Amino acid sequence: MKVITVEDLSFRYRRAVNYSLRDVSFEVKKGELLGILGPSGSGKSTLCLTFNGIIPHSIKGDFSGDVIVRDPKTGEEYNTKETPVAKLSTIVGLVLQNPESQLFNMTVEDEIAFGLENLGLDRNEIMRRIMWALEVSGLEGLEKEFPPNLSGGQKQRLAIAAILAMKPEVLVLDEPTSQLDPVGREEVLGLISLLRKEHGITVILVEHHTGYILRFADRVIVMDGGRIILEGKPGEIVEEVEVLRRLGVKLPPSLEISHELKRRGLIKRLAFTEEDLLSEIKSL
Ligand SMILES: Nc1ncnc2c1ncn2[C@@H]1O[C@H](COP(=O)(O)OP(=O)(O)OP(=O)(O)O)[C@@H](O)[C@H]1O
């Protein structure tokens, strides 16, 4: 079942000379993890802003084509051009690169409650959802903490928890680990994997940690110059190593090494991880 359909989408920011998105078309299926790769300036963040209508409602420009969001609970379809961001945000939750830009309450608990209060839910339901979001994001025990005192990984998990509590069907994460150290990055990527595995949440993830995308995404799109230039399963995308290298998409070392070994006919399969590479080499 499709949850988002993007059709011939083009967008140019006000006063910009060039289009940031050009004839972009693809679909997102319920429950999948869609990874988005591409060099800086290729349009990944712009695309993320179209899913909940921030583009074209809050950030305006030349917009053509359609983004259709389908609520799997009711089957209703919403064209983002004609639907307010407040409505779309109940279906599509967007987490931005820098968690600090999304955190402005005095306690962890208030941060999660904030969006829920705006949904007009009753107190019991709000409490239930806060407990659930704290548990899922591994922030139990930190309810009364002042958000700026949290570690980078905890702040980003809180930003995700606050969005999750709204129970969106689709979670869009735009480079959620780019401001984090390796520990924080593992925490956040671990949470995303958990949300997929145990909660079946649909995830759209822009992430420079290509190794993660290639291992965990169901499908990947690669953008360049506002266009989609590759789309497929990770196994198909990695076959296009030359294209990825040309774009400057950083590949995990195991993939680079296995690509070279495969090119020389020494191994048959590309390896996404060091363990896979080792087992390929051992089987020679
Ligand atoms: N508010 C804006 N006004 C005008 N142009 C913009 C604006 N935001 C982005 N752009 C331009 O749109 C293009 C796509 O930018 P976008 O941020 O979507 O790329 P990106 O792939 O997310 O890059 P990064 O990986 O660096 O975040 C770039 O040329 C950028 O300069």
Residue nearest to atom 31 of ligand 1 (CA): 41
Convert the pLDDT of each residue in 45-65 to its tens digit.
999 999 999 999 999 999 999
Contacts of 261 (CB under 8 A, 6+ apart): 267, 280, 281
Q: Is 46 in the pocket of ligand 1 (CB under 6 A)?
A: yes
Q: Is 43 in the pocket of ligand 1 (CB under 6 A)?
A: yes
Q: Is 13 in the pocket of ligand 1 (CB under 6 A)?
A: yes
pTM equals 0.92
Q: In angstroms, what is the span from residue 226 Cα to ligand 1's centroid? A: 9
- CA neighbours closer than 13 Å in the CB half-sphere of residue 98: 4
Q: Is 50 in the pocket of ligand 1 (CB under 6 A)?
A: no
Q: In angstroms, what is the span from residue 83 Cα to ligand 1's centroid? A: 24
Contacts of 24 (CB under 8 A, 6+ apart): 6, 8, 9, 10, 43, 47, 65, 226, 227, 228
CB 16 within 8 A of CB 186: no
Residue nearest to atom 7 of ligand 1 (CA): 13
List the domains of the chain with CATH numbers: 2-240 (3.40.50.300), 252-284 (no CATH)
Q: Is 98 in the pocket of ligand 1 (CB under 6 A)?
A: no
Average pLDDT over residues 198-218: 90
Partners of 85 in the beta sheet? Answer: none
Convert the pLDDT of each residue in 144-196 to its tens digit.
999 999 999 999 999 999 999 998 999 999 999 888 888 888 888 998 988 88
99, pLDDT greater than 80:
no
Q: Is 40 in the pocket of ligand 1 (CB under 6 A)?
A: yes
Which residue among 9, 12, 44, 224 has the greatest number of ligand 1 atoms within 8 angstroms of its CB, and so is best to mutate?
A: 44
DSSP letter string, the chain: -EEEEEEEEEEEETT-SS-SEEEEEEEEETT-EEEEE--TTSSHHHHHHHHTTIIIIIS-EEEEEEEEEE-TTT--EEEGGGS-HHHHTTTEEEE-S-GGGG--SSSHHHHHHHHHHHTT--HHHHHHHHHHHHHHTT-TT-TTS-GGGS-HHHHHHHHHHHHHTT--SEEEEESTTTTS-HHHHHHHHHHHHHHHHHH--EEEEE-S-HHHHHHH-SEEEEEETTEEEEEE-HHHHGGGHHHHHHHTPPPPHHHHHHHHHHHTTS-SS--SSHHHHHHHHHT-
